[in-house]
């Protein structure tokens, strides 16, 4: 019951504060009732649409709703940029138009509809456990209290003269940016719009590169060198899609900043008194500072959000080593199944194993490469040898489609595992027998011993 109240309150408060911001803007104030009507209709429709599958016993397909929410948030975000681009800085073109009642109704509808739908789904789920009689009042209370700021703060915000800080376009960009960060109900929806954008762009870039190669008849081959294969592999990596995501997110706020700072200083030649000239310039610069502050704040929030997305898309993943022993059926051989209770090697995730031989502890890693072959190597390289106390820097972790040496943070392309040299993990010979990796103990211990001998010689840096 409490979680229903708090989560509904939280989402309603987020929406309420945005509505207060919009309703307090002078050019939008006359149409604020249309906006409230939009929120109300959005709430009612969301509840109805959430109840329908519940009443018919079907599971709701949340994927469609998440995509629709992403599209609506992008529309709000880029609509602001479109207004700025269409109408230019003050004095140059017509002033930005006052939004119509229908436009404000739609804005209010979009601001809360998807969150309301997710909240309704969440509360319907909770009510199957705790009963509707407990959940419904808690959710309603959370909704009412969360939307209270609309009534409490509306007049106060109106007197804050928001036109000093926003134009309609920059206001929409700021609202859109806030929606990017706060949009959706995390308890119901698994994902973030920026992750969705980045993944979508990644798939599009990969597909486009493949398509272009096939159009130009220079499709890649496992061992025949093809023109621009290296460039194609480079473009397929995540850095291009990440860069495009950054550009997608940063473009509207940067457009606002450009619009603000591209306004020329006021003409002061006609003023005879120097103090009047300075005053006029000071007012202008203060106005620029006011106009740029909200968008700078939005920019900072988006940068933090992008960083969080990047970290979540590419976390440093390091599994715990799984102890392995000599096989009972085959003496002198360690057999590692390619499919076991912890998963299938085809998931492309790094796996680590540890073998104990007397006092020796040998940690090795295995991973399936994109071409379906397996890479197996010691969890160390020939070059890096962190101090023994620095255990967190020993070995490799996985980040996306690379292994990363935790000591020097060099990225190692997964297809190059099994290739010796550089910062690559030291390869160990092995064989694939049916669905198992067959690793001879002799080979493992020989390579391990050779690595220890090299270490003693001081070839590790």
Partner 1 sequence: MRHGRLMAYTGSPWLMALIVFILTSVYVGTSFGGATYWPFMDFLLKSWPGLVLIALLAINQTAWSVRLVLKRRQPLAAEMDAIKAMDVHEHLPPDSPMKDTAQFARWLRAQGYAPVETSGSLWARRGRASILPGMVLRAGIALSLIALVASVYFVAAGQVLLTSGQKARVLGQEVQAISIDPGMPAEFLQAGTNVRGGFTLDDIKVTLRSGGREFTATGGYPVRISGLYYRIIHLGYAQPANTVRGQDILMLDVLPPGSVSTHEIGGTGAYEFRLAPERTVKKGLVSGGLYDLHTPRYAINPRGGKSEAVVARSGEGFFKLQGMRITLGQAGLYVRLSVVDYPAMPLLKLGLRAMALGLLMMFVRLGWYERRFAATMHEGRLLVGYSEEFYGKWGVFKFRRWMSAPPFTS
Binding site for partner 1 (CB under 8 A): 63-64, 66-68, 70-71, 82, 86, 89, 92, 191, 196, 199-200, 203-204, 206-208, 210-211, 215-219, 221-227, 261-265, 267, 269, 371, 373-375, 382, 415-416, 418-420, 426-432, 443, 447, 450-451, 454
Of 429, 431, 433, 452, nearest to 442 by C-alpha is: 429
Half-sphere exposure in the Cβ direction for 188 (13 Å, CA): 28
- Which residues pair with residue 282 across a beta bridge? none
CB of 129 to partner 1, least distance (A): 28
CB of 106 to partner 1, least distance (A): 16
CB of 432 to partner 1, least distance (A): 5
**Per DSSP, which regions of 257-348 are E strands?**
322-324, 333-337, 339-340, 343-344
CB of 384 to partner 1, least distance (A): 15
Instruction: Please tell me the distance from the alpha carbon of residue 213 to that of residue 220, in angstroms, as a whole number.
Output: 8
Instruction: Please tell me the distance from the alpha carbon of residue 257 to that of residue 252, in angstroms, as a whole number.
Output: 9
Residue 174 to residues 16, 35, 318, 443: CA-CA distances in angstroms? 15, 17, 38, 61
For residues 92 and 155, which CB has a smaller minimum distance to partner 1 in the complex?
92
Residue 168 to residues 26, 82, 87, 116, 175: CA-CA distances in angstroms? 10, 11, 11, 25, 10
Taken in order 97, 99, 103, 107, is the CA torsion positive or negative? positive
Inter-residue contact 420 to 427 (CB < 8 Å):
yes
For residues 200 and 348, which CB has a smaller minimum distance to partner 1 in the complex?
200
CB of 196 to partner 1, least distance (A): 6
For residues 358 and 372, which CB has a smaller minimum distance to partner 1 in the complex?
372
CB of 96 to partner 1, least distance (A): 16
For residues 139 and 172, which CB has a smaller minimum distance to partner 1 in the complex?
172
For residues 225 and 320, which CB has a smaller minimum distance to partner 1 in the complex?
225
Instruction: Please tell me the distance from the alpha carbon of residue 76 to that of residue 78, in angstroms, as a whole number.
Output: 6
Half-sphere exposure in the Cβ direction for 301 (13 Å, CA): 17
CB of 158 to partner 1, least distance (A): 32
Burial degree of 287 (CB within 10 A; 0-12, 13-18, 19+):
middle
Of 141, 178, 180, 145, nearest to 21 by C-alpha is: 178
Element (H, E) at 102: helix 101-130
DSSP annotation of 266 reads P
CB of 111 to partner 1, least distance (A): 19
For residues 3 and 416, which CB has a smaller minimum distance to partner 1 in the complex?
416
Token output for 102: 């229908």
CB of 47 to partner 1, least distance (A): 24
For residues 262 and 391, which CB has a smaller minimum distance to partner 1 in the complex?
262
Residue 332 to residues 79, 337, 445, 457: CA-CA distances in angstroms? 67, 16, 11, 29
For residues 40 and 459, which CB has a smaller minimum distance to partner 1 in the complex?
459
For residues 97 and 420, which CB has a smaller minimum distance to partner 1 in the complex?
420
């Amino acid at each position: 019951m409490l979680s229903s109240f708090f989560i509904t309150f939280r989402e309603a408060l987020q929406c309420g504060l945005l509505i207060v911001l919009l309703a307090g803007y002078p050019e939008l104030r006359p149409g604020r009732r249309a906006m409230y009507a939009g929120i109300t209709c959005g709430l009612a429709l969301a509840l109805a649409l959430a109840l329908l599958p519940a009443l018919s016993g079907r599971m709701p397909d949340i994927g469609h709703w998440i995509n629709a929410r992403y599209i609506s948030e992008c529309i709000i975000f880029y609509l602001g940029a479109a207004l700025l681009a269409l109408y230019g800085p003050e004095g140059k073109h017509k002033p930005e138009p006052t939004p119509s009642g229908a436009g404000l109704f739609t804005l209010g509808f979009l601001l809360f509809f998807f969150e309301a739908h997710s909240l309704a789904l969440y509360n319907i789920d909770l009510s199957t456990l705790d009963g509707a009689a407990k959940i419904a009042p808690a959710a309603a209370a959370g909704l009412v209290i969360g939307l209270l700021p609309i009534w409490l703060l509306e007049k106060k915000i109106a007197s804050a003269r928001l036109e000093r800080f926003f134009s309609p376009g920059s206001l929409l960009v700021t609202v859109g940016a806030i929606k990017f960060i706060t949009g959706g109900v995390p308890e119901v929806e698994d994902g973030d719009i920026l992750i969705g954008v980045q993944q979508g762009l990644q798939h599009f870039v990969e597909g486009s590169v493949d398509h272009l190669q096939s159009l130009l008849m220079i499709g890649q081959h496992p061992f025949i060198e093809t023109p621009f294969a290296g460039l194609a592999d480079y473009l397929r990596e995540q850095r291009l899609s990440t860069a495009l995501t950054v550009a997608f997110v940063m473009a509207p706020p940067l457009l606002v900043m450009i619009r603000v700072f591209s306004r020329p200083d006021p003409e002061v030649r006609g003023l005879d008194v120097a103090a009047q000239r300075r005053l006029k310039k000071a007012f202008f610069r203060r106005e620029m500072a006011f106009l740029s502050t909200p968008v700078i704040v939005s920019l900072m929030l988006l940068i933090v959000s992008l960083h969080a997305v990047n970290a979540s898309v590419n976390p440093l993943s390091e599994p715990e080593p799984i102890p392995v022993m000599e096989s009972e059926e085959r003496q002198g051989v360690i057999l590692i199944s390619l499919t076991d209770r912890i998963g299938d090697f085809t998931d492309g995730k790094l796996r680590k194993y540890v073998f104990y031989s007397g006092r020796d502890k040998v940690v090795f890693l295995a991973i399936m490469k994109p071409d379906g072959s397996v890479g197996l190597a010691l969890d160390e390289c020939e070059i890096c040898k962190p101090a023994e106390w620095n255990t967190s820097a020993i070995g490799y972790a996985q980040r996306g489609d690379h292994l990363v040496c935790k000591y020097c943070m060099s990225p190692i392309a997964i297809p190059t595992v099994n290739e010796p040299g550089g910062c690559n993990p030291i390869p160990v010979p092995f064989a694939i027998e049916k669905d198992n990796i067959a690793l001879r103990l002799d080979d493992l211990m020989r390579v391990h011993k050779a690595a220890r001998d090299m270490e003693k010689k001081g070839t590790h840096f």
